[in-house]
């Protein structure tokens, strides 16, 4: 099952305001003991390694639209954002080692925007930016597998464009190393650099961005998340990118990571890891088996104070089944 985690789990929190730190301990206790998960699901399917790599090397074309939007963070909070395809993070891009990828960016915004993928080996002058109303094309052959960050490239103000929301995840699957069937999710971490006004609207602060002082740090651009539904004994694989700020201390409460892959590259593997650091601008791939029935939580162990603001992915495990079916390896639609 290949899933991009969605946005339907709400932590107990005052409506229209970011939770105060004095209530964090109570919130965490409620989260682990008495939380009610929403019944709705918002999973977006990944194609996965088999479907992406199975037909040989490809010449892939990805079309992106750069535009400024008001984005809903959940919990009655919205923010001014600069986006790819109207969302932050932008769409997940999947390719396979050896593929050629052509990225076409149409600038529908009011300022110059560009494109940089950390999966590319190329002259940075190809990254743009281009003026409003114009388009840019960048093409590269992917010769290293991994989980890569892509983002807007706009010269000396690139940092601001990333912090305004112009980033996403690019997965380059290994061609010659088959990944085990697993529940697969994509998780990205980013900051929001402004405080909400009385109506819950955030206008990001240039000073906060320059100082790396995020007001909220959250996963997948949202303050609420659907629970990942698994069974005891299932394998979970997380494709992860940290857009910043600072290093993310990737950790799953109640779990030891069976495998941690630096940069998401299967050649860079560490075993039996409690917590793994992913610096800003980098990614990783993490695999772990659910040990028993229970509620687990994916967190940034260095930013536990941000759990009430969306920096937590719940994983709910039911009892193991006696005979496993082949459904685990199928793509969800």
What confidence tier does 321 reach under pLDDT thresholds 50, 70, 90? confident
Mean local confidence (pLDDT), 113-119: 98
| pLDDT band per the 50, 70, 90 thresholds, residue 24 | very low
pLDDT tens-place string over residues 189-240 = 999 999 999 999 999 999 999 999 999 999 999 999 999 999 999 999 999 9
pLDDT confidence of residue 11: 35
> 44 pLDDT exceeds 80?
no
Closest CA to 47 of 35, 58, 32, 33: 58
The per-residue pLDDT for range 127-148, each reduced to its tens digit, is 999 999 999 999 999 999 999 9
Sign (positive or negative) of CA dihedral 310, 215, 240, 246: negative
DSSP-derived secondary structure for 157-180: GHHHHHHTT-EEEEEEE-SSSPPP
Structural domains of the chain ordered from first start: 2-44+180-329 (2.60.40.420), 53-173 (2.60.40.420)
Q: Single out the residue of 167, 82, 171 nearest to residue 116, CA to CA.
A: 167
Mean pLDDT, the chain, as a whole number? 88
Strands laid side by side in the 93-96 sheet: 93-96, 167-173, 146-151, 116-117
- Read off the pLDDT of each residue in 69-95 and give the average, rounded to a whole number: 97
How much is the pLDDT for 39?
Answer: 35
Is residue 43 over pLDDT 50?
A: no
Contact 171, 94 (CB under 8 A): yes
| Statement: the pTM of the whole predicted model exceeds 0.85 | yes
Statement: residue 37 has pLDDT above 50 = no
Q: 3-class DSSP state for residue 190? A: strand
What is the predicted pLDDT for the residue at 55? 82
The C-alpha atoms of residue 67 and residue 106 are separated, in whole angstroms, by 9
Percentage of residues of the chain with pLDDT beyond 90: 81
């Amino acid at each position: 099952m290949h899933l991009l985690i969605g946005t339907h789990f709400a932590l107990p929190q005052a409506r229209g305001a970011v939770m105060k730190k004095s209530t964090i301990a109570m919130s965490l206790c409620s989260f682990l003991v008495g939380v009610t998960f929403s019944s709705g699901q918002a999973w977006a399917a990944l194609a996965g390694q088999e479907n992406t790599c199975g037909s040989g090397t490809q010449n892939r074309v990805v079309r992106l639209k750069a535009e400024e939007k008001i984005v809903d963070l959940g919990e009655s909070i919205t923010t001014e954002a600069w986006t790819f395809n109207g969302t932050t993070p932008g769409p997940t891009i999947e390719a396979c080692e050896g593929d050629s990828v052509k990225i076409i960016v149409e600038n529908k915004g009011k300022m110059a925007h560009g494109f940089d993928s950390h999966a590319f080996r190329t002259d940075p002058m190809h990254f743009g930016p281009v003026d409003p109303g114009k388009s840019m094309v960048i093409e590269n052959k992917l010769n290293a597998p991994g989980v890569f960050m892509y983002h807007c490239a706009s010269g000396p103000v690139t940092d601001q464009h990333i912090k305004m929301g112009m980033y996403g995840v690019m997965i380059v699957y290994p061609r010659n190393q088959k990944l085990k069937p697993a529940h697969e999710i994509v998780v990205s971490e980013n900051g929001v650099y402004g405080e909400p006004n009385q109506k819950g609207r955030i206008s990001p602060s240039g000073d906060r961005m320059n100082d790396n002082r995020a007001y909220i740090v959250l996963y997948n651009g949202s303050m609420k998340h659907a629970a990942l539904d698994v069974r005891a004994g299932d394998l979970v694989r997380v494709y992860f990118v940290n857009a910043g700020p600072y290093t993310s201390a990737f950790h799953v409460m109640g779990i030891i990571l069976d495998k941690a892959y630096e940069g998401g590259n299967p050649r860079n593997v560490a075993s039996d890891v409690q917590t793994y650091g992913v610096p800003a601008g980098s990614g990783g791939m993490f695999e772990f088996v659910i040990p028993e029935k229970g509620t687990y939580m994916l967190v940034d162990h260095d930013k536990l104070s941000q759990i009430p603001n969306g920096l937590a992915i719940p994983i709910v495990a039911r009892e193991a089944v006696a005979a496993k079916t082949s459904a685990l390896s199928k793509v969800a639609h």
